[in-house]
Amino acid sequence: MTTTTMMRLRQHLASPIYTSAIARIGNRAHHRLLPVAPPQKRPTSTKLLLLLIVPLLLLLVFFLIPTVFLPPARTMSSSSSAASAPFENPRTVVKKLLAESQPEGQGATVRRSIGRHELRNLDPFLLLDEFSVSKPAGFPDHPHRGFETVTYMLEGAFTHQDFAGHKGTIRTGDVQWMTAGRGIVHSEMPAGDGVQKGLQLWINLSSKDKMIEPRYQELQSKDISRAEKDGVEVRIIAGEAFGVRSPVYTRTPTMYMDFTMQPGSQLQQPIPEGWNAFVYIIDGEGVFGRESSAPVAAHHCLVLGPGDGLSVWNRSGAPLRFALVGGQPLGEPVVQHGPFVMNSRAEIQQAMEDYYYGKNGFEKASQWTSSA
């Protein structure tokens, strides 16, 4: 092993990144007999009129009571799902965390929420960074093992290269979903001038998937599923919203959505039962969970408690943009050391040795250097 590889390993391990009542109709009058009036002589026309009116009244009562007094049945469709109705058991915000800026990579700055000591992880999520990077800063050659990275460009472009020969550039609105599996060494660097902004999420892999071969899913902005309803627009990176589903396959069951809500709009978004979920506010401010809650502004990460789904209100005068992410917990031990995330300390030690000696997925590590 070369001295260069040893120096790289020390540098990578020092950096954390490489670390939402039926009314009862009836009254007693129905059970009382009407008083019988003494026979009276009535004009024939009056009798005929009564004979016509009484049946009509009975018909009106028969048909109108179910439709007017009883609540309408809930229906679901692709354009207006059950999400439009309030949840019986809405998810509330159980933890609020302001993402703080910190240095990362080479001269880069990120706002980290998940992955800090206040929120080490949120099974199956390991890390969430909002990055803002300008050349020559970036994230040069570094390894990963045991998890997935999801990079979502909010503004600008980033170029990715790895030691398996894969190279590509993702631009505003594009997504790269990378499964590191048994091992990858790659670089992520700004592709244009000015500030390049995005979100990077780390998603854990189950023990049975940690040593699979690396793979990629890359989606251009034009190919991301979208839906819009009542002043709410959503880009569906993974999962389903408003009856529209993303084609992205997630090895760890995951939902990932980018919502933009216009002033005065509200949202009811279902989240699968038992999944952990969080919100990251990108722009604007909104009310999350309960209508009586105080509004929360940009750069906050909101951890959601259990329930049926998330309710959101935009009462401000500007658009609200946020990411809603949820995933099925793995329920497995998490042992993380820099860029390696496994289930035990012995597996972490093995990952370090594999990278150091260039084996078990890292065979090309010592011979490869990116053009960045």
Residue 126 is part of a domain; what is its CATH number?
2.60.120.10
Q: Is residue 173 part of a domain?
A: yes
Q: Is residue 354 part of a domain?
A: no
Q: Is residue 211 part of a domain?
A: yes
Tally of CB atoms within 10 A around 146: 28
What pLDDT does 86 receive? 85
Query: What is the domain count for the chain?
Result: 1
What pLDDT does 71 receive? 36
Q: Is residue 17 part of a domain?
A: no
What pLDDT does 84 receive? 59
What pLDDT does 11 receive? 54
Residue 363 has phi, psi (to 5 degrees) of -60, -30
What pLDDT does 2 receive? 39
Q: Is residue 366 part of a domain?
A: no
pTM summary value = 0.79
Answer whether 70's CB lies under 8 Å from 23's CB: yes
Q: Is residue 77 part of a domain?
A: no
Q: What is the 3-class SS of the chain, one letter each residue?
A: CCHHHHHHHHHHHCCCCCCCCCCCCCCHHHHCCCCCCCCCCCCHHHHHHHHHHHHHHHHHHHHHHHHHHCCCCCCCCCCCCHHHCCCCCECCEEEEEECEEEEECECEEEEECCCECCECCECCEEEEEEEEECCCCEEEEEEEECEEEEEEEEECEEEEEECCCCEEEEECCCEEEEECCCCEEEEEEECCCCCEEEEEEEEECCCCCCCCCCEEEEECHHHCEEEEECCEEEEEEECEECCEECCCCCCCCEEEEEEEECCCCEEEEECCCCCEEEEEEEECEEEECCCCCCCEECCEEEEECCCCEEEEECCCCCCEEEEEEEECCCCCCCEEECCEEECCHHHHHHHHHHHHHCCCCCCCCCCCCCCC
Answer whether 137's CB lies under 8 Å from 106's CB: yes
Q: Is residue 51 part of a domain?
A: no
Per the structure, the complete domain to which residue 293 belongs is given by 92-327
Q: Is residue 52 part of a domain?
A: no
From first to last of its 372 residues, the chain has per-residue pLDDT tens of 434 444 555 555 555 444 333 333 333 334 333 344 444 444 455 555 556 665 566 555 444 443 333 333 332 333 334 345 789 999 999 999 999 999 999 999 999 999 999 999 999 999 999 999 999 999 999 999 999 999 999 999 999 999 999 999 999 999 999 999 999 999 999 998 999 999 999 999 999 999 999 999 999 999 999 999 999 999 999 999 999 999 899 999 999 999 999 999 999 999 999 999 999 999 999 999 999 999 999 999 999 999 999 999 999 999 999 999 999 999 999 999 999 999 999 999 999 999 999 999 999 998 999 987
